[in-house]
């Protein structure tokens, strides 16, 4: 039975730190796919659409496994789930160093790495919202900022490693880092405060104000019968479509424009670094203005950034794009889990969020594939960027139609 007496140390802070380091290492390395893009294509002569297909497959697998892993997290907690995923993801990178055929690229990256990635976002975000009734936005913002810091570090580091050791050895180094960091950090995770005899942060204050979020919430079946569930799925699809089309293709696009590989890597790193600002600033703002408003702001900024990218040719223009895009996608990313918690409650949060994230994963799979195909057929990304802008506008329109569920009590 959780104690109502305020402990001297709240274990939720450990949860946030451990989850931050997991996000930083796993997604930081995963987001370097675009850095490895040109060296791998140069060695094997594959088209951009063909290589992007492996990344897309990883997101399909990620989306499907997110549902399973979200349910397992609700039942067994994040420590077991994250340890398993660390072995899959780290092992996948080690195997990537040995590829010699396209089927290996699809199997190692698409299936194995995609499976490992499927147990990261949903279990971690679902765990964090269970630990915080108050300041949920800033807590998830800190955790999600690990992705931005990881990208900020990993992108130039991967480019440097490839220039010194080649892409194969670089995958071995990065895969080993993922294995060690995530397996160790996962051992500190606990599913909810009751496991250590505590209450969620701010629970007593929330109850006094009569604003307590339902801890029972809706089941997946009940949630799926609401229009909000499908609106959020559409929002997440549009979000994933744009974000990962850029993460995969912004580096080769910058190189096509004549920038060096190092500058191109730094542009990707800049978007990751500025996503930290979006996650922390907009995550904190979400506690006051609501997560729906954060998505509205994010989609407006991303639409503008994609339109800007069409005529952008100079390096400074690409850096400016990275700043606006990074802040926008960082804010939307951190609003995902709290938005679902505010609308549907916590009892099946991991499972519900896992199904919702499938929409994001499908978008993240299709976006890079479409961008790669357009480049292969036209020799330019301009049409692709216009499509990304249009999809973001559709996401904005969907968000504007999102309203609270009548039974909902929390902050959306």
pLDDT tens per residue, range 158-194: 999 999 999 999 999 999 999 999 999 999 998 878 8
CB crowding 110-144: b at 16 or more within 10 Å, else e: bbbbbbbbbbbbbbbbbbbbbbbbbbbbbbbbbbb
Phi–psi pair at 211, nearest 5 degrees: -115, 20
State pTM to two decimals.
0.74
Q: What is the mean pLDDT of the chain?
A: 86
Average pLDDT over residues 86-98: 93
Of 213 and 62, the structure prediction assigns the larger pLDDT to 62
pLDDT confidence of 407, banded at 50, 70, 90?
low
Q: With both helix axes pointing from N to C terminus, report the angle between 315-344 and 121-131 in degrees, rounded to the nearest 10.
A: 60
Q: How far apart are CA 399 and CA 364, in angstroms?
A: 18
Q: Report the DSSP beta bridge partners of residue 132.
A: 201
Lowest mean pLDDT among 27-41, 265-279, 395-409: 395-409
Q: Report the DSSP beta bridge partners of residue 244.
A: none
What proportion of the chain, given as a percentage, has pLDDT over 70?
A: 92
Whether 213 shows a pLDDT value over 50: the answer reads: no
Whether 7 shows a pLDDT value over 80: the answer reads: no
Q: How far apart are CA 383 and CA 2, in angstroms?
A: 56
Q: Give the tokens for residue 246.
A: 């850029």
Q: Are 367 and 394 in contact (CB under 8 A)?
A: no
Whether 133 shows a pLDDT value over 90: the answer reads: no
Which one-letter DSSP state was computed for residue 283? H
Whether 408 shows a pLDDT value over 60: the answer reads: no
Task: Tokens 């080690």: give the residue.
Answer: 94
Contacts of 38 (CB under 8 A, 6+ apart): 251, 252, 255, 261
CATH number of 12-197+214-400: 1.20.1250.20
Across 205-214, 307-316, 398-407, which has the greatest mean pLDDT?
307-316
The residues spanned by each domain of the chain are 12-197+214-400
Whether 207 shows a pLDDT value over 70: the answer reads: no
pLDDT confidence of 4, banded at 50, 70, 90?
very low
Query: What pLDDT score does 267 carry?
Result: 92
Q: Give the tokens for residue 206.
A: 């929330």
Lowest mean pLDDT among 9-13, 294-298, 386-390, 407-411: 407-411
Tell me the pLDDT tens digit for each residue of 227-283: 999 999 999 999 999 998 998 899 889 998 999 988 998 998 898 888 888 887 887
Query: What pLDDT score does 204 carry?
Result: 60
Q: How far apart are CA 173 and CA 97, in angstroms?
A: 10
Alpha carbon of 316 to those of 98, 183, 258, 272: distances in Å? 37, 39, 13, 16
Q: How far apart are CA 119 and CA 65, in angstroms?
A: 7
Query: What pLDDT score does 131 carry?
Result: 85
pLDDT confidence of 125, banded at 50, 70, 90?
confident
Residues found in the chain: 412
What proportion of the chain, given as a percentage, has pLDDT over 90?
A: 42
Query: What pLDDT score does 205 carry?
Result: 52
Give the number of C-alpha atoms closer than 13 A to the C-alpha of residue 248, restricted to the C-beta side: 31
């Amino acid at each position: 039975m959780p104690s109502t007496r305020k402990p001297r140390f709240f274990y939720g802070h450990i949860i946030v730190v451990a989850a931050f380091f997991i996000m930083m290492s796993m997604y930081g390395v995963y987001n370097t796919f675009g850095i490895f893009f040109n060296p791998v294509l140069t060695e094997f002569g594959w088209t951009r659409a063909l290589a992007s297909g492996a990344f897309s497959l990883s997101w399909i697998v990620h989306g499907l496994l997110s549902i399973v892993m979200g349910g397992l997290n609700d039942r067994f907690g994040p420590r077991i789930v994250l340890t398993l995923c660390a072995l899959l993801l780290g092992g996948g990178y080690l195997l990537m160093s040995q590829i010699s055929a396209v089927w290996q690229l699809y199997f190692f990256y698409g299936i194995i790495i995609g499976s490992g990635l499927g147990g990261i976002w949903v279990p971690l975000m679902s765990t964090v919202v269970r630990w915080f009734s108050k300041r949920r936005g800033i807590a998830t913002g800190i955790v999600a900022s690990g992705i931005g810091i990881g990208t900020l570090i990993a992108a130039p580091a991967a480019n440097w490693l490839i220039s010194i050791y080649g892409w194969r050895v670089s995958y071995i180094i990065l895969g080993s880092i993922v294995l060690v960091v995530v397996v160790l950090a996962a051992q500190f995770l606990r599913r909810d405060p009751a496991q250590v005899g505590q209450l969620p942060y701010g629970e007593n204050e929330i109850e006094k104000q009569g604003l307590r979020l339902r801890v029972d919430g809706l089941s997946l079946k009940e949630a799926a019968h609401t229009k909000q569930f499908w609106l959020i799925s559409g929002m997440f699809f549009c979000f994933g479509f744009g974000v990962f089309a850029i993460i995969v293709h912004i580096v080769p696009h910058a190189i096509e424009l004549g920038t060096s590989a190092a500058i191109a890597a730094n542009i990707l790193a800049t978007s990751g670094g500025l996503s930290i600002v979006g996650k922390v600033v907009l995550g904190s703002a979400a506690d006051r203005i609501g997560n729906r408003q954060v998505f509205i702001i994010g989609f407006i900024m991303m639409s503008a950034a994609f339109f800007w990218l069409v005529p952008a040719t100079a390096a400074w223009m690409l850096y400016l794009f990275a700043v606006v895009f990074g802040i926008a996608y960082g804010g939307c990313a951190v609003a995902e889990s709290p938005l679902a918690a505010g609308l549907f409650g916590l009892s099946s949060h991991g499972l519900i969020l896992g199904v919702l994230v499938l929409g994001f994963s499908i978008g993240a799979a299709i976006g890079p594939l479409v961008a790669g195909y357009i480049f292969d057929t036209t020799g330019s990304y301009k049409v692709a960027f216009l499509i990304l802008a249009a999809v973001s506008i559709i996401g904005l329109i969907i968000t504007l139609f999102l309203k609270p569920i009548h039974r909902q009590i929390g902050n959306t």
